[in-house]
Each structure stands twice: as C-alpha cells, then as structure tokens.
Structure 1
Amino acid sequence: MTATPLPYPFWTDEGLGLSTGYTPLRGRPLTRVRLPYGDEAWLATDYEDVRAVLSDARFSLAESLLRDHPRIDPTPRAGGGLIALDPPRHTHVRALLAKAFTARRMEGLRARIREVADGLLDRIEDAGPPADLVEDLSFPLPMTMICDMVGVPARDVPSVRAWADVICAGDVPAETVEQQGKDFFGRMHGWIEERRRNPADDLLTLLVRAHDEDGALTEEELLGLLGELLIAGFVTTTNQIANFFAVLLIPGEAGGDGKECLTALRSRPELIPRTVEELLRYVPLLNGLTLPRYALEDVELGGTVVREGEAVVVSQAAANHDPAVFPDPDRLVLDRPGAAHISFGHGIHYCLGAHLARLELQITLERVTTRLPGLRLAVPEGELRWRSREFFSGLRSLPVTW
C-alpha cells in the first residue's frame, strides 16, 4: 500500500497511448489514489481485478450517491439513471429498456445507420477536402441515431450536443453546470409533455408510459434515464470514431502499423468487425477513469483487503493493456486471439448500447474506407489539437484529405 496516495488520473497531454503511470503498478496489489475531488480510493488496473470489481455485487455504484465520491470535477454526479442503481432496482429498470437494445433490434438499424453515414459522406465529398472527421462525421452520426431513437425534436438536437460538451469537459465551473443543467432538464420536461399528448414509436414514449401508466419509474428515474440514454448513447461512440481514425492515420500510433491496417481494411472489409474489437481494446477512451464503487463489506481483491465503505476506481483502459492477458498490448493486432476487451464494462452494468455502438463503428469504418480512398492527415501531426485533462481522451478535430 502506497504511503501517500498517487494523484490520479494519470493524464497524458497528447496521443492515444496508455499512460506510462500504469507501468510500475503492473502485478502489484491495489494502489491508493486521490482524484482532484472527493474521497481517496483504491485503484484496480489488472484485468482480473477490474472484472472482479465490475461484477461483484459487494461493490456498489449507488452508494457513491451518498458520499463525497472521487471524481475529476467539482460537481458530484446526480442520480436517476441506471448507473445510479444497484440490484434489485437496477434489474427492474434495465429490463424496461433491454428489449429495445438487443442485437436483433440493433441489426434492424443497419440500413438507417448506413444511410446517415452516406449522407454525411455525401456532404464531405461535395464540399471537397479537407474535412474534419470530428465535426463532419464522428459527432453527427451517433448523435443523429440516438436522438432519432429517443425521439428528440430536431430543433433541440443541438442542445444535446451542448449539454454533453458541458458535462464531459471536466473543467466547467459548478455554477455553469448547474445553469446549463436546468436549461437541458427543462427541455426534457417539454419533450415528456409532448409525448404525453402525442405518443410515438420511440424510447421517450416507452419511458413516459412506464412512468404514467405502469408506475414502473419514478419521475427522477424517468429524467435520469432519458439524460443517460442521450449522453451515453453518443458521446463514447463519437469520441471512438475519431480516435479510431487517429490511430489509423497518425504515424507512431498503433505500434506504427496504422497505415498497414488501413490498407488491409480497404482490401479486406471482412476484417472490420474484428478490427473494431481490437481498436476498442487498444484506445484508452476514458483516460483510465470509471465511476467509483464502494465496498459494502470487507472484500479481498488482488491481495488487498478493501474495507467496508472504501471506494475503488477501475481502469478499463489499463486492464485492456494487461500484458498477462494481451501479449504485446501496445500494438494493434487485427486478428488478435484470446480474451475479450472490457471497454463496454462487465457484469450487470455492461453497456446497454454496446450492439448499437459496434454497428456504428463498423459501418463508419466500412463507408469511410470505401468512399474516401487515400485518406490521410490534412495537417502536420504537430498541428493536431488534443483534449487535455478531460473525461474523454482524443482529438478536438481531425483534418483529413483524400
């Protein structure tokens, strides 16, 4: 156990490689860390330890709502969504949405995702190079899909993006978060009232009926789930689309094999599903940080006893680069065999939208490699602007030509 907690997260200024801060922690017991705000915590980084925390009911997500939980920004997280619940309430609420996100239902959206992607690529081609893959593709594609599924009025789609920017930045003043939150939740109340008057075939109607007719959701849960669906439904995929192409286009990323990988995908599109899984493993999207879990009793984990009431944060990114599980983990291997990544989580809180995200990522890779031959950076690598000390890692823009 470290005498003085290590500052955490282990920030990186640029690039998509895993921070070297994890290197000395490999194969050692849990490490004590302190985030910018909230309680101290134990940090789990090894694959098996991370899986254990994510799946063990003795570690509670809901408990963090009652405590000064470790976090990177000054504003504690609010309740209401799935990530604020433990079983049995979590099981009941998740079941309301699970049927809408099955692999079969998501597969039915393949043609629509392709249509949206091709529409965006039409605009990119019509405008001609250069284009920004962040603003022109990676934001609008998943945001359009989740807003369509939820039933967000077209006029309010920009407000979803604006709210996501606020809560994902990590350095927005608390009063700004509060004011922007009031505005966004006010809009959501308006959508709910509209669906009460005019039901539709969308997720918003499903949630409203679960609250109004079945009493299956409280008002707080209705709003929390709606906000969670909208933000979690696009921000991770948005960042990963841009990050995937950054890995493939920037020399030195992917262990130096990005260009070769891109060439392989053009000639062998059947490799795309496996490539998406390997890129999900490779890219440390969340800067190593997930929501904290509190021990409900003393739990032995990785040779350390986590006492009741102590917090644990896990790094899924570090777990995905555990050399004991993924040989040569800092290199992109398109046909990598063996264990599955845990970028979508593990256990009961496994990402509800994983099937949707996979489809969006697969289709985007396929359409871009087909329609933009010779894709390459439009600016020198040194001019790329990276996110710094934010919830998500990646680029602010990705100028490309073809």
Structure 2
Amino acid sequence: MTGFALGVDEEEWCGRLRALAAQRLRPLAEKGEPGRVNRPLLAALGEEGLLERVFVSGALELCLLRESLAYGCTEAETALALQGLGAYPVLRAGSPTQRERWLPGVRAGRLVAAFALSEPGAGSDAAALALSAERDGGGPGAAVGSGADGGGWRLTGEKRWISNAPEADFYTVFARTGEGPGARGITAFLVPADRPGLTGEALDMLSPHPIGSLSFDGVPVGPEDVLGEPGRGFRVAMDTLNLFRPSVGAFAVGMARAALDATLAHTAGRGAFGGVLADLQAVAHRVAEMATRTEAARLLVYAAAGAYDSGSPEVPRRAAMAKLLATETAQYVVDHAVQLHGAVALQRGHLLEHLYREVRAPRIYEGASEVQRTIIAKELYREVAAR
C-alpha cells in the first residue's frame, strides 16, 4: 500500500468482504434480536475465518476488515470487533493456559468475550476506576504457595456500559489492587461468567448491539486469573485500545462510505424541480463535502494503522486523531445523508435510519471525542518539551 491508495489485492479482498457482509452476514444479522448477542452471526464469522484474522492481522488489515464489514453489515462488524476487544488482552498478556483455554473458542465464534473497563463513575477517565480487588486467602483453585504470596482477591463493585454483557462467556476485567495510586494500582483479570458473585443485566441503549452492567459481589479470582502482572493492568488496557482505536475509525469510515454511496444513488435519480436533486448546486456541494471528509478520515485511519504496524512512538497521537476525525466525520456524513434523503430515511428498516442509530455511539466509547482531543494535545506538547 502507498500512502494514498490500496493495492489491487487489498481492494479485491475488501470487495469480497463487502459482498460477504451483504450476502451472508446481513441475513443472519436481521434474524437477531437487538440488544442480544447473535451467536449464529458469530459462528458464521468464525466459519469464514474472520475472527481468526482479528488475532493475526496488523492494525492496517484490521482496519480494512472492519471498514469493509461495516459497509455491508454493521452488526457483523461490531460482533467481530467486540470479540477482538474482549480477547486481545488474553492474547497479549495471558498465560499459555489462559490462551489455550479461551482463544480457540473465541476464534471459532463459540465463546463470547467482553472488555470490562468502564464504570458508573469511570468512563472516559479509565484510571479513576473503583472496582476493588481485596486480598483474599486464596483464589478459586489456587493452592497454598501459588502466585506471589499464595493468595487471591475478591472483586467488589460495578461495571457499566460493557458491550456483550451480560451474555459473554468471559470478561477481561480491570480492578484496583492498590499497588500504587491512579493507573499504577490496576490489575487485569480474566473472569469467567459463571464465577460465583458475578451477575449482570442488559441495558436498553440506542445502539443495537448488546450492552449491559455487571455486579461483582466478592467475586473470587486467583493468581491464575491475572492477565500480565498485578498492578500493570492499565498498560494491558491501553495496549488494547491503541490497537483498536484506529479501527473504530475504520468502522466509522465504513458507515460513512455506505451513507455516501446511498446518497449518490438517491440524488442522481430523485426527480426534483424539473431535474434531479444532483442538479441542484446546494445538493452537489454538500455531497462533495461529504465525500472529501470521508476520504480524509479514511487516509488518517490508514496512517494511524501504519504507525502502529511500524512501531512508531506516535501511535497514541495518531490513533486519537484517527478515531476523532473518523467518528465525527461519520456523524456528519450520515446526518447529511438523512437530510438529503428526506422522510424516507426516517423509516424503520431504512439503511440510513439504521446508520443514524449506529453512528452516534463511536464518538463516546473507547474514549470520547473530548478525550481524544486531550490525548492529541498532551502528545503535541510532550513533543515540544522533548525538543
């Protein structure tokens, strides 16, 4: 790939993914219940080898995958992304036993993963999380002398706005173990859904994918459940988000491109004032603006993914820029697409009605737009100080 265009093989792969999303995955998505995990859809993603690609791809390939699926079936894209988000910490920081136990099922679409970071009082400020992990005499199955001190923890508190909750089979949970203040006292745990004391409920949200809350009432975890090292869990979370933030932008770009193509077709064929809508300069200029912003967002997403794949130290800044611009652009494009379509786009079941509900949440999750601006500014001023 050059800095401005995809290669022929990449374009053909993206075309196949768009066709797969429309022809096989979309019908499965339409049979699902909004707000519930669609296990047949996950199984199809596994059968097609797409869940496996999440774990073996670089950031650029992940972006192309998410953008292409989003164009044809946002539910399939989101189901795939949530599997990656929930299970990537296991791939990156898990023990061989943890990886062997959980990842094959995730890749096959048999097991549902979830990333449990946000809390009622700690959304964008993830370092402020309050879920406590109090020292216990021993975790489940932990023998005396296992781990650093032979002991485990009891998790107490709440997580909220957790995608795939409460239906996931396991959760990557971030809790405060207190080795230090702020982010330095957080540990990542792999918590199976059947662990005693763990309950949850679904939340009725605008977005059609499953989101819920989790309640931890002294949930036992042991050293064998730790992902990485105690007190180093915030780094596990940030490593995961740095990879997935550019691809959230790719999801947004996929929705923007779908809305743009629908608008082009509609305005080119809809009769109005003795011609078609596209003949009106106000309409044509708005469509040109939608296309330009979409292309700019797409290129910034690819640049951020390339920075991640090359190991650039600029990843936090570029990932934040990509997510910020792409999600804000998608909101703009979808909103104007609805306006240019008129009342038909407000009907339940219309593509744009669906995209209008889908496009709002990405400006909030995995770091709201305001947080992305803060990250960008901090990175810029850090570079100034370093010079």
Question: TM-score category by the smaller chain?
Answer: under 0.3
TM-score by length of 2: 0.26
Higher helix share: 2
- State the structure with bigger RCO (CA 8 A, min sep 6), 1 or 2: 1
Give the structure-1-normalised TM-score: 0.26
Q: From the two aligned structures, give the one with the greater strand fraction.
A: 2
